[in-house]
Structure 1
């Protein structure tokens, strides 16, 4: 009898322990779920950006050559300096030119005296002709001599003007404001007018960037852009992470290049810090005018599976689901999604680094940070967009 009682008691105890274990199992499983940051996707109005490569060009560039031939007497600048229009850069030996000027001035004085005598003789001939004291032929000869003296004086005066210009051109001046290069020909060397390149000067007030936009892109994204609308662009130099320079379109070509199917466009970047140099390689970003709403998610939320991009969304019972997406423009640390996600979807914001599809999680809802991110271009946020 006691044996039966003991067996029954043991069986009851076992059932009680099993029931307690079954009650604790869901609690233990719940405690083991991994906490994951999740957030609802954002839907924002955005503009797409198009990137082009270019090399900077100066609006004004001069290969400086002398207007007269001669010997370089002195160099009046420091190589690499900023020069102003009218600054004397090279001084040629002016003595031969000054001698020509002096000679012509002396000849003019002689011609003026001869002209004065010819005028006096012509007047006297006219008086004598009235009294029939001189023949008509003699009077006409004196008038002809007067006209010759006048022509000789005019010719000498023109030669003097030219000689004075040559003397002035012995001072080779800068025709533009800009940055000067090195001296290609040094002191003591002979230079030839219109042939010897003394140095080069490039304007530093602004820089041009020419780039070609394909016809399809221009018609779909920029068809209403004109040079007068001053469409904003931003630029990045080689070795920089940010698009730190802001400019605008100031020229659009008048026809499509039929050979390439592209339209030549020019942006101008006005700056005073001399940070831009002609010939530099650069990248241009141009914002399309059309604004459209796109789903926005963090870049880190996107995973890569062979050739596919995907995110993990939170489904029923907080189970992660695999969802293929197509991505668009990047905006700082965020990315636009063109297909695969809809408003209201909730994603794992840190991506598939620690979790995978089919895994139940303990969701920790956070908000996607958009501080300091510009999704559309405006005068207030153009520079902000350039930094992304």
Structure 2
């Protein structure tokens, strides 16, 4: 081999050997531990609230029907507006009833005139009978005529009162404060007394929320009532609508039915709430929470920290060596966005609440950052391992 080629071959072999030694001396480094946010298990006193579903109902609801028959002359309100007790809503043609009243007044005047005449004749008969100027039979006849005339006056007065009442009933007025519905009978249509539905009026403030509870829950509440001496009004109620988060509306339980429905095994209850801003409308779906007991100590974690493995629930906690360890837990109810842990955690455990998706297996190293339990995601200062 020529000297030049031999030198190049030696140089290449030396370079390859140096590269192999370098790769053996400095192996490739692994990925750094992921950043996660941890929070200590929150221990505090909480009240037990039971969840139910219900419907909003008006305290007062009236189906408005006319008390006299006739053709509707006028619809005197705007459909859907709030009305007050005594406001005019419909007018039935009053002319036939005005004529009836006028006729009754005329009959009353005639009866009063006849009564005055019969009274005068009776008084004259009293003086004549004393001097025996008339017979006893004629005296009794005049006395009976006077009594009959007085009765006719009272009958005519009753007819006038009835005719005047019918005339008043031609003006259909709201019996309650509330919101009137659409007019089901419009101008020119015939309305039959006590039969034709004109409209409905429902009260607005306060409102009822009806819901049903199962037998076990009812028995638990009954036991609490016996122990604590509570009445229905002592149970606070919280209500939320389908478009709302949480239960922002406070009320009280004011009625519990007197028997359990044997077909469904449920008992109906009712809460009452103020409705000054008219947010509640009869018929709306409502979520109801009823306070079932006094305060008791409980451990709580953020809902976001709870994971699911088939039928089991678990969380990751950070140990002293900054590794993620799995712990199976038994969940309780939700309290203000946090979840009650019935078993599986210790009060001093630090739970991964943010970045839990970065943990791929138990024992994986992590870089924990301390946050408050239930706090929103935000940068935090890393803490040293204990």
Return the TM-score normalized by structure 1.
0.83
Matched residue SS, 1:325? strand
Distance 1:278 1:38 in 2: 45
Q: 1:363 matched to which residue of 2?
A: 368
Distance verdict in 2 for CA 1:43–1:104, change over 3 Å = same
Match of residue 80 from structure 1:
80
Equivalent position of 1:313 in the other structure: 317
CA distance in 1, matches of 2:279, 2:33: 55
Moved more, 165-174 or 43-52: 43-52
Aligned to 1:135: 135
Q: What is the deviation of 1:369?
A: 4.5
Match of 2:382 in 1: none
CA 1:36–1:227 in structure 2 vs 1: closer, same or farther (change >3 Å)? Answer: closer
Q: How does 1:90-105 map to 2 (within 5 A)?
A: 90-105=90-105
**Do 2:337 and 2:374's aligned partners in 1 also have CA atoms closer than 8 Å?**
no
Deviation for aligned residue 1:237: 2.0
Change in Cα spacing, 1:99 to 1:33, as seen in structure 2 (3 Å) is closer
Q: Pick from 313, 319, 325: which aligns with 2:329? A: 325
Match of 1:335 among 309, 331, 339: 339
Structure 1 residue aligned with 2:164: 164
- 1:258 CA displacement: 4.1
Q: Distance in 1 between matches of 2:67 and 2:213?
A: 42
Deviations 1:300-323 (A, max 9, x none): 222221221111122353332211
TM-superposed CA distance for 1:361, in Å, is 3.1
Classify the secondary structure of the residue corresponding to 1:291: strand
Displacement of 1:347 after TM fit? 2.2
Corresponding residue of 1:116? 116
Shift of 1:144: 0.6
Unaligned runs of 5+ in 2: 1-20, 377-386
CA contact (8 A) 2:36 2:355 kept: no
Q: Deviations over 1:214-243 (max 9, x none)?
A: 2221332563242332x2222222333343
- Write the distance in 1 (CA, Å) between the matches of 2:248 and 2:301: 25
State the distance in 2 between where 1:221 and 1:171 align: 50
The aligned counterpart of 1:64 is: 64
Q: How far apart are the structure 1 equivalents of 2:116 and 2:135?
A: 22
Higher mean alpha-carbon deviation, 211-220 vs 237-246, is at: 237-246
Q: 2:247 aligns with which of 238, 243, 246?
A: 243
Classify the secondary structure of the residue corresponding to 1:48: strand
Counterpart Cα distance in 2 of 1:111 and 1:205: 51
**Unpaired runs of at least 5, structure 1:** 1-16, 372-388
TM-score of the aligned structures, taking structure 2 as reference length: 0.83
Distance 1:364 1:280, change over 3 A: closer
Post-superposition Cα deviations, 1:345-383, rounded to whole Å, max 9, x if no partner, equal 222232631123112334333332469xxxxxxxxxxxx
Structure 2 CA distance, aligned partners of 1:174 and 1:89? 7
Contact 1:303 1:351 in 2 (8 A): no
Deviation at 1:114, TM superposition (A): 0.9
1:135-185: per-residue Cα shift (whole Å, max 9, x none)? 111100110111110111111110110000001111111111111111111
Residues 78-137 of structure 1, C-alpha deviations (whole Å, 9 max, x = no match): 111111111111111111111111111111111111111111111111111111111111
